[in-house]
Chains A and B, each alone.
Chain A
Amino acid sequence: MRAFGFMHGVHPPERKELTEKVAIRRMAFPGEVVLPVRQHAGKPAKTIVKRGDRVERGDTLAVPDGFISSPVHASASGRVAAIEQWPHPDGSTSEAIRIAVDSHSVQVPRLRLVPDWQQLSSQQIVQAVQDAGVVGLGGAAFPTHVKLAPPKDAKVDVVLINGAECEPYLTTDHRSMVEFPERVHLGIRVMLKALGVSRAVIGVEKNKPDAIERLTETAPADCDVTVLPLTVKYPQGAEKMLIHAVLGREVPSGKLPISVGAVVQNVGSAAMIGEVFETGLPLVERIVTVTGRGLRRPSNLIVPVGTKLRDLLDYCGGMTDDAAEILFGGPMMGLPVANLDTPILKGTTGVVVLTRDEVRAQRSYPCIHCGYCLDACPMFLDPQHLGSLARAGRYDEMQQHHLADCMLCGSCSYVCPSNIPLSQLFQASKLAVRRVAPAGVKA
């Protein structure tokens, strides 16, 4: 199979065998769900319910605050138990709506009209996608509708669907493509209509031949959707790498994909849009890979958004005795979470439980200038030089050396034999730069 790829990058162990053949199951409703109003990039949603309100599954709990924002819906029927600050996977806290789930409810959402997308205008589709609270399900949780409404002067000629799923362990997108290919295609058609574009390409790493096959079989005959095998390499799913691999176009530094005529959406988001226009139900649940050697029963589950980590792990048989670290997302870019009350969000692709001997806590050595990080960086930066600048606090120089182009993929840290926490240094440097020169102020 011919495959398309990008330069540099790394080959971490895939570890997908734990769940790649495990069919998606639906998790039982937990006793409580906690829904933060900040689950997406952009402004947090504004809460419109109050303590004690009865809500049905699918009801709107919080409305978007502006265009680059997204609503939050009740993921289970029950009563609003509290509205308070709650632990967030990013380590901070966020205003969250706690719902005590009605254990007698059959959890059937209210009857709703499902609009016929073929009859809708672009604007109406964008509105419907925003109303459904759809955000990027690949992890970044950027509101999907924003990408479907590009600025007037932008010329979009292709929609790219990201089915690379290059993070080790995760099989969320893989199982969606195998089990719900029709939904993916429906979502793509809706997006093509919204954007007025006729061509879509689905990029899938070739370690998922069953997904490539299923998507190809079910591709609609009346529109130009192709499935493209990609090389198995991290970070193949990074937006700029994907565009380069599929279209051979290079997104200029500091620009968005739209500047080269592409709109990129995660395959899970496409399936979610398909589901919205199939059932009318907003984004109240998502597929999550719960996996790792520190977990007794690795699974792919449909999980109500807001399910607490504790309930999710219990549903998967609990942690093993040597479990040591829990990650939200994959092991390359995922966030460590130590509070079991942390809720699963719309953007949570997976939960990985690592065992004690898998936890990375070795000592650091001095940089030996091996150059491995230069060969790993997909953006062709010089991580070892940036790293020494970061340690010296020379953030201005780091900006001249394209710190802004670093996407924190972690490839440099992965290959570093001296175990220098490069991507952590870069993340801290980016924060420091932002603190020195707040948005809008030219440095």
Chain B
Amino acid sequence: MTAPPLVVTASPHLKAPASTPVIMWTVVATLVPIVGAAFYLFGISSLLVITAALAGCLAAEAVFNRQRTLPDGSAVITGLLLGLTLPAALPLWMAFIGGVVSIALGKRIFGGLGYNIFNPALVGRAFLMAAFPVPLTTWSAPISSVWTMAGDNFALPLMSADPAAMITAATPLGLAKFENTHSEILPMILGTRNGSLGETSVAIILLCGAYLAWRRFLNWRTPVSIFATVAAVTTIIGFFDPSRPTALFMLFSGGLVLGAVYMATDMVTSPTTNKGRWIFGAGIGVLVVTIRFWGGLPEAVMYAILLMNALVPYINRVTQPRVFGTPGRLTRQQKAEAAA
């Protein structure tokens, strides 16, 4: 008998089926229905804006593609998520630059996938928000047909859109903040309200998130913690100041659901311990309510998540579970004994 050639590898020799590309591409797949909803609600402009953001991300990833990271799918997630946080009428060149910044400054300069501190899509959006505050907060009026352009998407680079070319309409959060008008809840759940491309289709986002949680590709503790904290803090403040929006309004308005399900759960930039995930979510919830109620902007989810991203290494360190067979956190005396 001649033996076949044998190989030698390190144990373990079995491998759980979920791999990093599988996780990434599954997340991409669950974003497709949300993109579809954006097309239905905001028309052809939505696809153009999302494609431009995606193209920016992929271009940047390709330029920095030293470790052949393009196929792992993470840049596609960043591109889609960035696109979904933008308004329909944004000039495409801005979306493209946002994508480039997401990958280049949000991820690559830290060392690529796994090493970035901040959620790359939100870094890109924060950059756009700082550079182009007006286009980023200009919301076009509802469309008459999906083939109607929402605004001047094809504005030339370095040019802003012609404001006269579009009719605007406010978001529920903007109405609450600047005009003290409270929108109805039902359209907010169905998605027929104004806002960023991907943030309005709350029901679809929750369904996709539930699927990812079931596959264990996102940890349910983070969004649950965010929702619970936002609801609790809003309710408590409501006791003192009844003119404030209700908890339901806070949950379904703005980018809270999209941010809680897809951005705060980004594995790279969220805690690795379960206790840490609860704390991380609670921190985001408190910041969201604080910024929305007392900040200068109607929307707060982006900054809340970015701020909490910065705390993740610390949260991880202080929430490590007790190692089996050890007495837990060492008392000062035990530390002295160990040092002796």
Contact = CB atoms under 8 A, between A and B. Distances in A.
A413 B325 CA distance: 22
A379 B324 CA distance: 5
Nearest to A338: B6
A374 B273 contact: yes
Interface in A378-420: 378-382, 384-385, 402, 405, 410, 413-419
Nearest to A91: B8
B158 interface: no
B113 A365 contact: yes
B267 A381 contact: no
A338 B16 CA distance: 25
A252 B334 CA distance: 15
Given A365-B21, A369-B114, A371-B272, A324 B12 contact: no
Contacts of B11: 327, 331-336, 410, 413, 423-424
B15 A240 contact: no
A432 interface: no
Contacts, number: 170
B114 A367 contact: yes
B112 interface: yes
A10 B17 CA distance: 12
A435 interface: no
Q: Which 9 A-B pairs have the closest CB atoms?
A: A366-B114, A410-B12, A371-B272, A331-B13, A253-B325, A424-B10, A365-B20, A336-B8, A370-B267
A76 B234 CA distance: 80
| Of A335, A365, A405, A423, most B-chain CB atoms within 10 Å | A365
Interface string B114-131: 110000000000000000
Interface string A318-361: 11011111110001111111101000000000001010001111
A414 B325 contact: no
Contacts of A413: 11-12
Interface stretch (B53-61, B166-174, B315-323): B315-323
B63 interface: no
Contacts of A324: 4-7
B156 to A, nearest CB: 39
Interface string B250-294: 000000000000000001111111100000000000000000000
B219 interface: yes
Contact of A417 (B3, B22, B219): B22
Interface string B13-27: 111101111110000
20 contacts: A168-B14, A240-B324, A321-B4, A326-B6, A327-B11, A331-B11, A332-B12, A362-B19, A369-B268, A381-B323, A405-B323, A405-B324, A414-B14, A417-B16, A417-B18, A417-B22, A417-B23, A421-B10, A423-B10, A427-B10
| Of A252, A368, A414, most B-chain CB atoms within 10 Å | A368
- Chain A: number of interface residues, binned into ranges: 35 or more
B12 A402 contact: no
B159 interface: no
Interface in A283-331: 314, 318-319, 321-327, 331
B165 interface: no
A303 to B, nearest CB: 19
A247 to B, nearest CB: 14
B272 A368 contact: no
Interface in B298-340: 316, 320-326
Main SS of chain B's interface residues? Answer: loop
A359 B19 contact: no
Contacts of B273: 371, 374
A13 interface: yes
A12 interface: yes
Given A253-B325, A370-B267, A379-B323, A336 B15 contact: no
B164 interface: no
| Of B113, B270, B273, B323, most A-chain CB atoms within 10 Å | B323
Contacts of B1: 314, 318-319
A380 B267 contact: no
Nearest to A373: B272
Contacts of B6: 323-326, 338
B144 interface: no
A419 B15 CA distance: 8
Contact of B13 (A244, A327, A380): A327
Given A332-B13, A365-B72, A414-B14, A378 B324 contact: yes
B269 to A, nearest CB: 8
A251 B325 contact: yes
B12 A340 contact: no
A354 B18 CA distance: 20
A255 interface: yes
Contact of A414 (B8, B10, B16, B322): B16
B264 to A, nearest CB: 14
| Of B11, B23, B272, B316, most A-chain CB atoms within 10 Å | B11
A250 interface: yes
A382 B8 CA distance: 27
Given A366-B114, A402-B326, A338 B19 contact: no
Interface string A151-169: 0000000000000000010
Contacts of B267: 368-371
A69 B115 CA distance: 49
Contacts of A385: 316
A128 B270 CA distance: 58
B9 interface: yes
Contacts of A252: 325-326
Interface string A90-113: 000000000000000000000000
B309 to A, nearest CB: 12
B198 to A, nearest CB: 22
Nearest to B326: A253
Nearest to B5: A324
A45 to B, nearest CB: 27
| Of B20, B268, B271, B321, most A-chain CB atoms within 10 Å | B20
Contacts of B114: 365-369, 418
Contacts of A370: 23, 267, 272
A255 B112 contact: no
A10 to B, nearest CB: 7
A229 B28 CA distance: 42
Contacts of A405: 323-326
Contacts of B16: 10, 12, 372, 414-417
A270 B272 CA distance: 42
A319 B9 contact: no
A22 to B, nearest CB: 21
A244 B9 CA distance: 32
Nearest to B276: A371
